[in-house]
Each structure stands twice: as structure tokens, then as C-alpha cells.
Amino acid sequence: MEMNLIKVVPEFIMLGTAFLLLVIELFIARGSRKFFGVIGILGAIATGISLLYQETGSALGGLFIQDQVAIYFKALFVLCAVLVLYITMMYEDKIKHWKGEFYSLILFSIAGMMLLASSSDFISFYVSLEFVAVCLYVLAAFTSENRNTIEAGLKYLITGALASGFLVYGISFIYGSTGATGFSAVATALKTAPGSGFLVLGLSLAIIGLTFKISSIPFHVWSPDVYQGAPTPVTALLAAASKGAGFVVIMRILFTALGGIKAEWMVFVAVISGATLIFGNLAAMPQKDLKRLIAYAGIGSAGYLLMAVAAGSTLGAGAIMFYMLTYIFGILGSFLAIVIFHNSEGSDLIDSYAGLSRRSPLLAFSLFVGLLSVAGFPPLGGFIAKLYIFAAAVKEGLWVLAVIGVVMAIVSMYYFLLVVKSIYLRPPHNTAPIHVDFTSRAVLYVVNFATIFLGMYPGPVTDWVMDIAKVLF
């Protein structure tokens, strides 16, 4: 029985910062809470530094595993935390009550995702998943003066509870047919006893339950309404971090625990992936609201990532990890631009973005780079990530899926280019320039640079993720 608490230090720092904010909130008067964001960002940076000193191993009686993949995803979540906290500082004036708790809950949810990335047992995984989910349920309904937000929160809660039911039911069958809850113990059990029908049933139900977290078919319905109705920083958190958390557990369950019966889940995941790709991208085309468009595009992205899951190889796992990195930069850069634009114009409609390039070239450029990277336009980061995913799918013989993916990538370029056309080519409704303050400029420059750099010179990062992806198998 080994506790090995040193391995949990990054989570402790994150949780400690969250608690600190909850307590400070009690002692200060009403008013702005911008410095909460600064404290949170400092806490996240401290977490990031402590991650650099982490060594691999297991802790807390073997239910917590610190491998390279966990550390990589934790670093991604810390990056999300920094950017989302910054977006929250920009957004803060729209939150009327409980501003301090808003910052604190964001940190709690990130800490939960970090725990999720390290879970190596169905019990700790499920409990961490619910912890993240409860934080996000509250955050999605946070500005409850707004009708849309209440609707978003309720939809998120109800579909989340239903998906959670599927997941637990599935896990109970997996436990019933292998007699183990630890991921590596399940893998060992499968080596001696081949999978039974109950195992396949449990596996299918668990995958269906997990599709809620990554917003793919069949649990995708919540995402457009929630993305549109929830406060924008929460949308950013859901789009970037929550999706990453969903994929790290899918990889651990399918690759590590159930890798022995790949033949049983490969087709199932491939079908979900294909349906998600087609639905997400086609439904994104007629959208008028940019947040809603990003929600449908996010469903499409889940389809691409599931394609890499279906491939079930080291190449696929590495592709997922690289895709999440480029996705985080692309999507969070876009959301920062959206929040700044919304502060000035009070609208998220694509129509209102007309002529943005003449009013604020930097915002226009950030949306251009961010959205086209998500669409997979060369030479941006997202293009390389999609290329790796297609390569992984083709290598495993998933030709049909790869063709669907390529066609849908072209569709996604179409609807993102419509936004870009509105931004660059249409005449503005109003010619007043939009002011972007100095720090926001700096953040946008860094994020855009990262997206372009990952597209131009991906070599070191991709070599690295392909190398660490091996630990999953």
C-alpha cells in the first residue's frame, strides 16, 4: 500500500489555488474580481512547473497512474486553464453574482480533469468524471438571469445524467465479465479468458456513455444549445479541455484496458466516427451564430478524433494528442477573439462580424488563423494533425472512414471560409475600430504564433507525442 503523494503534487497545487480563491472571496468586498484570474493563472503556472518535475510511476494505492500520457494531458489542461482564466477576466463584467466562485469552479474542473487523466481504475475514473461533470453543470448554468443559459444548464445536466447512467451500466458489465476494475487488471484478465458477449455489451454501453463528454453521436444533442447559451469562458472550457479529458479516458479504456479485444470495438467506434463526421459538418453549414457553428464543428472534430481511436494504433494515439494541442490553440484563440468582439458589439452572429478586418485587423487575423486551423487548412497546425489522423486510419485499413473524413474536411473549410469571407470581404455595418488592450494583444499573438508554428515545424512535437503514446499499449 503505497501513497506516494509526491506524484499528486500538481493536482494539490491546482486544488489549493481553487480553495484559496473560495476562501479569499469571503473576506473581500463586492466589485471586480479580475485579480482572481491573475491568482488562478499563477496557480496554473505553478502547477505546470511542478509537472515538469514529475516522474512516472503510480500512487494512491495504484489507482492513480502518472505516466507520460497523463503528464502530457495535464500540461494541456494547465494550458487550457491559463487561457480560459484569461478569457474569464475579459468576460467578467457579464457575470453579475458570485464572480469569485466562477474562477474557483474553473480551477476545480481543471483539477478534476487532471485527476481523470491519471485514473487507472474504473472506480477512480468514474468518480473523477462525475467531479468534472458537476463543476461543468454549475458553470454552464452560471449566469442564470439569462433564459438561454438556464436552458443550456438544464439540457447539459439531463443529458449528462443519462449518459452517466449508460456509462455505469456498461462498466458494471465489464466488471462482471472480467472480475477487475483496474485498467491493467482488466487487460490481464482478458489475456487468460476471451471476451464474452456481456463484455462487448458493456463496452458498447460505456463507449456510448463517454460520447457525451466528447459531444459525438449519439450524445451530441446538448452541445449546440450549451455552447450558445453558456457563458463564453465555459463554452471555451467545454470545447477544449472537456473534450481532451474525454479522449484521454477513451484512450485509456479502449487501448490500455480493452486493447486485447480491439476487433470487437474497432467497427463500432468507426461507425460512430463516420456518423459524427457527417452529421457535425453538414449541420454546421447553415448556422448563423458563431458559437453554434463552432459547436457543430466541434462535433465534427470529435468524429476525426474517434477516427484515430478506431485506428487503435500508436500512430492514432499520437495523432489524438497532437490534434488536441492544435485544437486547444485554435479554439481558445478564437474564443478570446469572440469574447473581445462580444464585449464591444454585444453579438455573436456571423453577420455582425462583417468587415471586422477593417475594424480590428488582429481580431480578424486571430479568427482567421484559429478557425482555419480547426478546419485543417494548410499550413496551420490543424492540417498536420488531420494528416496524422488520416494516416493512422489508412494504415489500419479504414479506407471508407478516411474518405469520409477528407470529404468532410472540405465541407468544414467551406463553412469556416464563409466566416472568413464575412470578416474580410464584406463591408462593415459600423466602421468604429474595436479596441484590444495590450495583454490581450500579447496573448493573441502568442496563440496565433503557436498555431502557425505547429503547422510549419511540427516535427519535434509529433516525434515526442508518437514516442510517449507507446505507454498506452
Note the residues at the interface with another protein (CB under 8 A): 1, 3, 15, 22, 29-31, 60-61, 63-64, 97-98, 101, 104-105, 108, 112, 115, 123-124, 126-128, 130-131, 134-135, 137-138, 141-142, 144, 153, 176-179, 189, 193, 196-198, 201
Q: Which is nearer to another protein, 177 or 462 (CB)?
A: 177
Q: How far is the CB of 287 from another protein (least distance, A)?
A: 24
Provide the minimum distance between the beta carbon of 60 and another protein in the complex, in angstroms, as a whole number.
4
CB of 184 to another protein, least distance (A): 15
User: To which H or E segment does residue 321 belong?
Assistant: helix 314-345
Q: How far apart are CA 68 and CA 73, in angstroms?
A: 9
| CB of 81 vs another protein, minimal distance in Å | 16
Smaller CB distance to another protein: residue 126 or 327?
A: 126
How many angstroms separate the CA atoms of 95 and 98, rounded?
8
Distance of closest approach, residue 63 Cβ to another protein, in angstroms: 4
- Considering beta carbons, is residue 111 or 293 the nearer one to another protein? 111
Closer to another protein by Cβ: residue 88 or 104: 104
To another protein, the closest distance from the beta carbon of 128 in angstroms equals 6
Residue among 10 and 312 whose Cβ is closer to another protein:
10
Give me 58's grid cell. 503510480
> Where do runs of H (alpha helix) occur along 146-261?
147-178, 183-192, 197-214, 222-229, 232-237, 243-251
CB burial of 153-178 (b: ≥16 within 10 Å; e: otherwise) equals bbbbbebbeebbebbeebbebbbebb
Q: Of 169 and 464, which CB lies nearer to another protein in the complex structure?
A: 169
Q: Which is nearer to another protein, 138 or 372 (CB)?
A: 138
Contact criterion met (CB below 8 Å) for 57 and 4: yes
Radius of gyration of the chain (CA): 21
How many angstroms separate the CA atoms of 313 and 319, rounded?
10
Cα–Cα nearest to 277, from 412, 371, 388: 412
- Residues near 415 by beta carbon (within 8 Å), at least 6 away in sequence: 281, 284, 285, 287, 293, 297
Nearest approach in angstroms of CB 5 to another protein is 10
Q: Residue 59's beta-bridge partner residues?
A: 64
Give the distance, in angstroms, between the CA of residue 125 and the centroid of all CA atoms in the same chain. 17
